[in-house]
A and B are shown apart, each in its own frame.
Chain A
């Protein structure tokens, strides 16, 4: 993950896919996913308004589809 003025770029070496985080808020959400019990909690902590939750849900689903983020495995 590489910070950029507009958000961040992500690259997955396995899938060779590049993804973009188009603003600072979604970057904050992605960064803090591991620290929250759920994606919704991470969005709330980053101050995402309820009305925008669906858009964030789609963005995170797209990241998951491209394997940029994965479900955590319980150790």
Chain B
């Protein structure tokens, strides 16, 4: 998603970001990972997916969550995983959500998007699709997402385009190896009538292990910023790159970490985390199975109250860029072992690199759940087989649909 602020706004009592910092009645960017099962095993999977978790929410429990979302007037939910389409009740849940006026945007590697599925998707106003692709060529993509995954994604896009689905998303996690392919990604999106969506590689899940080698270098960050500044209007970012704003004009978007304020995650077993990139007990707010369900967690979790309280800014406080950068991404700091109130590991002023060197690798925390396929073993008992997803925030944290922001006064 992409949440952008529109220039048309009415003069307001404060910047939108300031209003949002205090939290909302319901999340704007809610990610729901339906399963940890996945046919792929992307090296940077944010949720360390692969094997299904036996405690996964049942169909009835999922429907109860959707009922809650409808009551809370959540406009749409970003469904991911794992590979959500491998859940046998996936289409049933999509239909249930849209029948209850909860829109669905789901992320997929394309494995189940045959011609029939594409036709069915093209028929609904309430469903949007994101196809994950992390290289504009098979070599670059398959090195990260696995052999054959480029072909799978292209076939899915071909099916969507043939079915007349206009404007689906081509979702790319920007890495050291594909940052030079941004124009090529634009061309691929154009070829299928899709919209390009670029998001940040965060050191979450298995991404923590590959982040040091895969995240764009400082020089590449600069190129990325310039490219986004030049193409900003046509490209969605989920507000992923606000930590690069100090390079120039702020990029479109809210420019704040939305964790627990406008962003949150429901994982396959119903655990509610502050952000899809923060699957760790420190950011676990509750579970949808507890009394009061998701609504009570969102409203009353002590963790969320803390995240919605004014932040100090810590070591970034004295930085002249703090207003647009706000110290960057909480999850990126956490999983690289940096203090949450200090600079982002990709701080454009270079403070992150220095802090990383000082902290050392030993300081890095481990994600709460690892459902990766185990080498040498085939799937696990439960249903599906192996596969992990690969996108990254598809769900961006703040990235919602394109924006517009009227209302000012």
CA distance in complex: A17, B76 (Å):
11
The answer to whether A19 touches B407 (Cβ under 8 A) is yes
For residue B203, CB closer than 8 A to chain A, the reply is no
Tell me which residues from 1 to 56 in chain A have a Cβ below 8 Å from any Cβ of chain B.
2-9, 11, 13-23, 25-27, 48, 52, 55-56
The answer to whether A26 touches B26 (Cβ under 8 A) is no
Of the candidates B6, B76, B407, which one forms a contact with A7 in the assembled complex, judged by CB atoms under 8 Å apart? Answer: B407
Residues of A within 8 A of B126 (CB): 13
Query: Shortest CB–CB separation between residue A13 and chain B, in angstroms?
Result: 5
Q: Is the interface of A mostly helix, strand, loop or mixed?
A: mixed
CA distance in complex: A16, B75 (Å):
10
CA distance in complex: A65, B13 (Å):
23
Residues of B within 8 A of A59 (CB): 8-10, 406-409
CA distance in complex: A62, B406 (Å):
6
* Interface bin, chain B: 20 to 34
Closest to A24 in B: B409
Query: Shortest CB–CB separation between residue B101 and chain A, in angstroms?
Result: 8
Nearest 8 CB-CB pairings of A with B: A62-B8, A21-B407, A11-B75, A22-B12, A62-B406, A2-B73, A16-B401, A66-B404
Residues of B within 8 A of A68 (CB): 404, 406
Query: Residues of A at under 8 Å CB distance from B?
Result: 2-9, 11, 13-23, 25-27, 48, 52, 55-56, 58-63, 65-66, 68
The answer to whether B16 touches A20 (Cβ under 8 A) is yes
The answer to whether B103 touches A13 (Cβ under 8 A) is yes
The answer to whether A26 touches B10 (Cβ under 8 A) is yes
Q: Mark B90-112, 1 if CB is under 8 A from A, else 0.
A: 00000000000001000000000
Closest to A1 in B: B73
The answer to whether B10 touches A6 (Cβ under 8 A) is no
Q: Mark B366-405, 1 if CB is under 8 A from A, else 0.
A: 0000000000000000000000000000000000111111
Given contacts A20-B5, A20-B405, A58-B8, 6 further A-B contacts (CB under 8 A): A3-B25, A13-B76, A13-B103, A23-B407, A56-B409, A62-B6
CA distance in complex: A7, B125 (Å):
26
Query: Shortest CB–CB separation between residue A30 and chain B, in angstroms?
Result: 8
Q: Which of B3, B11, B103, B405 is packed against the most chain A CB atoms within 10 Å?
A: B405
Closest to B400 in A: A18
Closest to B23 in A: A5
The answer to whether B409 touches A23 (Cβ under 8 A) is yes
CA distance in complex: A6, B23 (Å):
10
CA distance in complex: A48, B11 (Å):
13
Of the candidates B10, B73, B125, which one forms a contact with A13 in the assembled complex, judged by CB atoms under 8 Å apart? Answer: B125
Residues of A within 8 A of B5 (CB): 20
Residues of A within 8 A of B13 (CB): 6, 22-23
CA distance in complex: A60, B12 (Å):
15
The answer to whether A2 touches B16 (Cβ under 8 A) is no
